Structure 1
Amino acid sequence: MMALPSSRFVNSNISNFDYIINVEDSHQSWSLPLYKALNQGNWEIVEMIMRQQPAAITARLTPFAETPLLVAVKAGQGLPFIKKLLNFMPPEALALTDYFGSSALHAVAVLGNTQAARLFVEKNGDLPNFWNVDGCLPIHLAAMRGHREMTLYLFSVARENDVLGCLVTQIIFRAQYNRVFINIYLGKLLVDLALYLVEHNPELAWQHEIITSLELLAEEPSAFASGMDFNIWQFLIYSLIPLKRVRHKKAMHRHAHQLVKRLCSEIKCLDNAKASSILTGPFLIGAQNGIHEIVREILESFPHAITFLDEENHSVFHLAAMYRHEKIFKIVHQQSGQYKMSLSVLLDNRGNNILHLVACGPHQDRLDFSSRAVLRMQRELQWYKEIETFVLPHERKSKNADGKTPLTIFNEEHRELAAYETQWMIGMSTSCTVAASLIATVAFAAAITVPGGTTSDGSPTFSTENAFVAFAVSDALALLSSLTTVLSFLSIFTSRYTVNDFLYALPNRLIIGLISLFMSVTSLMLAFSSTMYLVAAQKNGLILIPIIALACVPVTLFACLQLPPLLNMIKSTYGPSIFD
């Protein structure tokens, strides 16, 4: 924490308001009651002191030289209280700062109180342009804390006052503020503001001290559509339902893509050496994080980027395989051209070719965040077999610096995963077999004790009713599909669980079992609804409405919980190659 001043008087850093910070104000007889009233929101006492002591409105009430307005704002007082306090203040008094150079606008920017900020700026339009001792404007503080509405408001004020160009000039030519605007906006995903700045100040595309704007974007996968790992329901909501939050996210993804295009268009105008130094980091980080928008735009602007290597001699091919980003691999595979052969045999610093690296397992456990995680072993095998076709035949048996072949590494690295998925499949098979057996028992019992009983000649009482036909068909389907489920999961119990079984055999049985279980649940609910109609709802049709609604609950629940992973299993097993 910054040390307190040794003197009781400190010069203000506000050039347009020559005021001396007199911290002796805190020893006045009225200062403590005023401080307590401001914190407690007691306006009657505040008003009384202000009328009796007009100088109290600019008094310093704390050792940090905070004015009454700063105390009230930091205490979280509401807008009515702040409005009343402002009535006692001349416009220049709002520019008073505390010991750290922060005005009341800095304080509300930290809190994200946009309504109070509007009041302050309306009374003193110069407030947005004051820097505190840490070199921050109010807009910086709002952006750093992710207050989007506050940041947009302060940004609009800067544009209206025609000071934005001046501020950006300071940012570019003052080293300590070089990356403040663009970096804060990108860090807090205020991408539209960053895009505006780059469009009006192209130098920001390559101005940097430590990290470039494009590299910051590459480290924020959530700013792009490719960084959103949706399941089927989330994808439908994102694609079809115009919710406010979804619209904001779509706009952010669109602006991020536009910003990447703009940055690349500016950087490609530089000489090759400088462009390469700027693009290497974003290109490799984007590949590592699976942001195919960045990788594609950089390749289109600078095709030689495909030859970029990191400090461990990993190419973009290596990174796409190591981090399991199939879209990245597909893009660079299509655009590799003359470099494809040389990159396929490239070795890293430890003598690993690309097949060694993919055999090591994912460096980032990305699949744990998606519903495909139920078949991780299958996905690992698919990656290994696809990369096998990419490398030369002799590379498949080559040894790295540790004397290990890719297949040896794959077996060692995936032994625990295979054991884990074996236990998971056994547990799931046990649970589903129990559920299917119960359904089969109920369906068989319902078949031999038909609803309504039988007539004297042994035929069902409701045999002429359409609902009885629906009952008979759905009950038979429930029985057959539940038995199919039992047999399918029994075949999982009897599997040998070799590595290759995880590629097709086990997923096939799992998919058949889950589909059959879903059919058995649905058919049982149809049989139940038909029975209730025959027994209770023929005379009063309204009873059928709650019956159908309740019967839909377990079917809907099953679909919501199991359909997304089931569809992913079907796509992974029967769909096209992961690189198609």
Structure 2
Amino acid sequence: MMINSHDQEEDEYCGRCWPLYRMIEKNDWRGVDDFVTNDPDALTAKTIAPGSTTIFHAIVELWVDVESDDATCLLDKLASKVDPQTLEQRDELGFTALFVCAVKGNLRALKVLVKYNPDLTNKRGIFQSLPVIQAAYKGHKDTLQYLREVTYGVDIYSGNDGASMLSRLIDATLYDVALDLLKRRPTIGRDNTDSRRIVLNTLAEKPYAFASGSRLGHLQRLIYNCTPVEVELVPSIQTNGATWHKSYWMLWNALMRLEGNFGNNILHLVAKLVPSSEVAGAALQVQRELQWFKAVVKLIHPHRLGDENRSNQTPREVFTQEHKDLVKEGEKWMKETASSCSVVAALIITVVFAAAFTVPGGSDSKGIPNFLHEPSFMIFAISDMLALFSSITSVLMFLGILTSRYAEEDFLVSLPRKLIIGLVTLFFSIASMMVAFGAAVHISLSHKWNLVIIPIALVGFVPVTLFALLQFPLV
């Protein structure tokens, strides 16, 4: 009876290699070391484990997430026992052991593999991608910098490799490394049409990488506006102004003529939804998306606005389709916010309206307040009126939000403006109400304790500050 070769391999694996594989899974460093010392050939034995070709490859894949000293030392010892060709073997996905380390960002293991076979750095994986490009794609900065230094035999800064590298860096938000690449090789990503398209697509889908598309806090915005980022450009612009403007517009026109996948021009790409957790509230994210889209609309030729892609969609139609769910979420968020805030504003109206007819300190027989000529009473009266008028304004703004039609364009100016006015006037009404309350307490207790206003001011400052901290990030 003939025995199938696959059955022989399986029997060999189960009898000889399975114990070793189990030690690898359990991170049993000493057991693996002893096993390989007694049977060095086990490292090159075939394994039936999915995705691996040799036991050594299995060790790398199982330990790729472990960066301990013990694992690194043992991997170094094991790598010294196999020949360089074994290190070049690939798994079922076409990955070498070094490629797996680049994807996972295990710099220690990667250095060990490069030490015993430097050629691994130019062995391409799936989609003909180099390990250094995969490290950039995954955002492993240290691994990327090391691979840039040790990769040889291929120019990683030219052609599609250079464009892919730059695109992956932008996609991983490693802008400092991308800028360093451009300084070293100014022509990177511009070797051919395909290269330019790769970089263009990535940039067009990254609106929040730019100040106009990002949401900065008040302090961050102040710092950004105070940073003179354009000063370094002034001398060159003054010296070669005409040349600079000519080059700028030539480059811009070239970008506008490029088309991405499925016949999408730059405006189709901008119309796609870019997820972001930096904007508080779905409605304000719709506003940011609209602002980004309209900013690019102003820069392209009018005849490109009606361009259709391969799905027969114009940029505006792509925008509407991509953002329809976000618009629904924005409508829900706006209504919930307006409902909650309008309830608070209505309560303030009730309180300050009643306070106007029950003045602190009471009135005489003619209805004239007893403390009419006291400064505290005037502060109370003015603050109470301001609280009433501002809370009424706030309620009207929130009612305007609740009764809005919630069209796509409403999220650009109308709804955000009503929300901002409503929140600001609500904040002002709360602050005025606290001032009126403090003045009323001062009128009642000042004859016994003159300094009562101090603790009142300190305590009254707390709710006003909390409201500002919690709600103003929405604006």
Asked if the contact 1:453/1:460 (under 8 Å) is kept, the reply is: yes
Counterpart position of 1:431: 340
Counterpart position of 2:393: 484
Please give the alpha-carbon distance, in whole angstroms, between the structure 1 residues aligned to 2:370 and 2:114.
79
1:386 to 1:411, Cα distance in 2 relative to 1, 3 A: same
Counterpart position of 1:50: none
Structure 1 residues without counterparts, runs of 5 or longer: 14-97, 110-116, 224-255, 567-580
Counterpart position of 2:296: 387
Please give the alpha-carbon distance, in whole angstroms, between the structure 1 residues aligned to 2:90 and 2:20.
18
Give the C-alpha shift of residue 395 in structure 1: 1.9
Counterpart position of 1:135: 56
Q: 1:213 aligns with which of 131, 137, 147?
A: 131
Where do residues 39-438 of structure 1 align in structure 2 (5 Å cutoff)? 99-103=19-23, 107-108=26-27, 134-135=55-56, 141=62, 143-144=64-65, 151-154=67-70, 157=73, 166=80, 173-176=87-90, 179-180=96-97, 183-184=100-101, 186-187=103-104, 193=108, 205-210=121-126, 211-220=129-138, 223=139, 256-257=140-141, 259-264=143-148, 271-272=154-155, 275-288=158-171, 290-293=173-176, 295-302=178-185, 303-306=187-190, 314-322=197-205, 324-327=207-210, 339-359=251-271, 361-362=272-273, 365-367=274-276, 370-371=279-280, 373-411=282-320, 414=323, 417-418=326-327, 421-422=330-331, 424-438=333-347
After superposition, what is the alpha-carbon deviation per residue over 1:378-411, rounded to whole angstroms, capped at 9, x for unaligned?
2222222222233333222334345544344445
SS at match of 2:260: coil
Q: CA RMSD in A?
A: 5.2
Please give the alpha-carbon distance, in whole angstroms, between the structure 1 residues aligned to 2:326 and 2:473.
22
After superposition, what is the alpha-carbon deviation per residue over 1:409-449, rounded to whole angstroms, capped at 9, x for unaligned?
44555556545534543443333222212112212222332
SS at match of 1:304: coil
1:376 to 1:106, Cα distance in 2 relative to 1, 3 A: closer
Asked if the contact 1:287/1:328 (under 8 Å) is kept, the reply is: no
1:277 to 1:102, Cα distance in 2 relative to 1, 3 A: farther
Give the C-alpha shift of residue 366 in structure 1: 0.7
Give the C-alpha shift of residue 291 in structure 1: 4.7
Please give the alpha-carbon distance, in whole angstroms, between the structure 1 residues aligned to 2:279 and 2:132.
27
Counterpart position of 1:39: none
1:167 to 1:261, Cα distance in 2 relative to 1, 3 A: farther
Percent identical across equivalent pairs?
28
Give the C-alpha shift of residue 345 in structure 1: 0.8
2:433 maps to 1:524: yes
Where do residues 424-573 of structure 1 align in structure 2 (5 Å cutoff)? 424-454=333-363, 458-461=368-371, 464=374, 471-472=380-381, 474-492=383-401, 497=406, 499-528=408-437, 531=440, 554-555=463-464, 557-566=466-475
SS at match of 1:428: helix
Please give the alpha-carbon distance, in whole angstroms, between the structure 2 residues aligned to 1:336 and 1:169.
53
The residue type paired with residue 107 of structure 1 is: K
Asked if the contact 2:360/2:444 (under 8 Å) is kept, the reply is: yes
Please give the alpha-carbon distance, in whole angstroms, between the structure 2 residues aligned to 1:168 and 1:455.
104
Asked if the contact 1:492/1:509 (under 8 Å) is kept, the reply is: yes
Give the C-alpha shift of residue 135 in structure 1: 2.8
